[in-house]
Amino acid sequence: MPTRRQLLSVAGLLVGAAVTGCSVPAVPGVSGPVPRERVRGADLSFTLQTEAIGARYRDGGAPAPLERLLAARGANLVRLRAWVNPPAGYSTLESALTLGRRAHDAGCDILLDLHYSDFWADQYSQSVPAVWAHQDLGRLAGTVRDYTRDAVAAFARQGTPLSMIQTGNEITTGMLWPVGKVYERGHEQWDGFVRLLTAGLAGALDGATAPLETMVHIDRGGDNGGARYFYDAITARGVEFDLIGLSYYPFWHGSLDTLAANLGDLAVRYGKDVLVVETSYPWTLRQADGTEYYAARLEELPDAARFPATPEGQAAYFEGLRTVVDGVPDGHGRGFVAWEPGWLPGVGWDHGEGNPYANLTMFDWTGTALPSLAAFRA
């Protein structure tokens, strides 16, 4: 039997979640799952940069901070990226802390996305940070654990504790190359990668002062075979984590039907919540600044007949996505995180470059809200 104190803790958590939109952690000693609100989140990592060039956002009224506009629509989580030593002006732990304070003040939970790299890390590139280069596996694992612990603790110290953390970004092919690279010259080398991954997961829990969910994030939103191969490999090697995180971009990963099949299979196979932690959809195919878009042609959209590249089509896509998440068996569909809905033209993916995602925002290029913001409703 749970104690009265435990029952009061559960009641307090549920009330707090209802008021703030925050997720509810599990409580030891209380039988049955504690209900968790579905995630309706957004990655806002470029916000300081877009504001610095004069971007302003509005949703039927006066301009307001981006995170507050989304929270007013029902968003309950902000995802923030951190690189170790990026080019000047790009996402650092310090900028993530600044945006974390703003997200917390707006009533949102915080998901920290540690890339363990000095710049973009994904399935094609996982470069070890320059200051960590030449470390062997043992020393690098210790560095990853300490770095992760310190990052989590920094958010706690400023009164904005994380609710989720992903230890690596799209790590389908490993992390911290070459030490943690899985595929090399036709061979698979999982042990080094798994040691680094578990070091990050352990460091996250070392630094936490409040319940913290850990996520392992890959890019295979529409690829069930690839997703199963990866998660089978790490679970067989004893990696323990809470959430499965997937990137899903229809123009790369297939139709919503393929996403639905993948989420359903993974949730049942591993008994874990699944979160679409990156997703977006075009509201136009018109170019803003001459940069070639990743989603540039109608034939690249597998569900174009259902979801044309218009503001209304984008809104319909997010409604379809919500339906897919709601349909994951046993309530394991945790939610979605829209990727950089405010990344307006004028801020490049690198210095001197353009923004190939400029037609995937949820605000038009004047900063005015598009109909797709309805997807954040509770």
Measured CA to CA, the distance from residue 68 to residue 142 in angstroms comes to 38
**Per-residue model confidence (pLDDT) at position 15:** 31
Measured CA to CA, the distance from residue 115 to residue 357 in angstroms comes to 19
Q: Is residue 19 part of a domain?
A: no
User: What is the 3-class SS of 203-225, one letter each residue?
Assistant: HHHHHCCCCCEEEEEECCCCCHH
Q: What is the DSSP letter of 184?
A: E
Q: Is residue 178 part of a domain?
A: yes
Spatial CA neighbour of 143 closest among 182, 119, 134? 134
Amino acid occupying residue 16: G
Measured CA to CA, the distance from residue 74 to residue 13 in angstroms comes to 19
* Total number of domains in the chain: 1
Burial 352-365 (b: 16+ CB within 10 A, else e): eebbebbbbbbbeb
Q: Is residue 17 part of a domain?
A: no
**Is the Cβ–Cβ distance between 298 and 323 less than 8 Å?**
no
Measured CA to CA, the distance from residue 336 to residue 249 in angstroms comes to 12
**Is the Cβ–Cβ distance between 144 and 171 less than 8 Å?**
no
Identify the residue whose tokens are 């994951």. Answer: 328
**Per-residue model confidence (pLDDT) at position 290:** 83
Measured CA to CA, the distance from residue 325 to residue 318 in angstroms comes to 10
Q: Is residue 21 part of a domain?
A: no
Q: Alpha-carbon Rg of the chain, whole angstroms?
A: 20
Annotated catalytic residue 37: no
Give pLDDT tens digits along the chain (378 positions): 332 223 323 333 333 343 333 433 443 333 234 457 899 999 999 999 999 999 999 999 999 999 999 999 999 999 999 999 999 999 999 999 999 999 999 999 999 999 999 999 999 999 999 999 999 999 999 999 999 999 999 999 999 999 999 999 999 999 999 999 999 988 999 999 999 999 999 999 999 999 999 999 999 999 999 999 999 999 999 999 999 999 999 999 999 999 999 999 999 999 999 999 999 999 999 988 888 999 999 999 999 999 999 999 999 999 999 999 999 999 999 999 999 999 999 999 999 999 999 999 999 999 999 999 999 999
Q: What is the DSSP letter of 223?
A: -
**Per-residue model confidence (pLDDT) at position 185:** 86
Q: Is residue 241 part of a domain?
A: yes
**Per-residue model confidence (pLDDT) at position 37:** 80
Mutual angle of helices 93-105 and 66-73, in 10-degree steps: 40
Q: Up-side HSE of residue 361: CA atoms within 13 Å toward CB?
A: 26
Label residue 117 exposed, middle or buried (CB < 10 Å: 0-12, 13-18, 19+): buried
Any idea what the CATH number is for the domain that residue 210 is in? 3.20.20.80
Q: How many residues does the chain have?
A: 378
Outline where the chain has alpha helix (H).
4-20, 47-52, 66-73, 93-105, 137-157, 190-207, 224-236, 250-253, 256-270, 311-326
Catalytic residue selected from 37, 170, 213, 340: 170
Q: What domain range is 87 assigned to?
A: 42-376
**Per-residue model confidence (pLDDT) at position 6:** 34
**Per-residue model confidence (pLDDT) at position 217:** 98
Q: Which residues contact 210 (CB under 8 A, 6 or more apart)?
A: 25, 156, 161, 163
Spatial CA neighbour of 193 closest among 144, 148, 133? 144
pTM for this one?
A: 0.90
CA distances from 258 to 48, 263, 265 (A): 35, 9, 11
**Per-residue model confidence (pLDDT) at position 24:** 38
Q: Is residue 18 part of a domain?
A: no
Outline where 46-189 has alpha helix (H).
47-52, 66-73, 93-105, 137-157
Outline where 237-302 has alpha helix (H).
250-253, 256-270
Catalytic residue selected from 37, 67, 213, 278: 278
How is residue 49 written in tokens?
């940069």
**Is the Cβ–Cβ distance between 40 and 74 less than 8 Å?**
yes
Torsion angle, alpha carbons of 203, 182, 171, 138, to 10: 20
**Is the Cβ–Cβ distance between 337 and 38 less than 8 Å?**
no
Q: Is residue 347 part of a domain?
A: yes
Annotated catalytic residue 94: no
Q: Is residue 10 part of a domain?
A: no
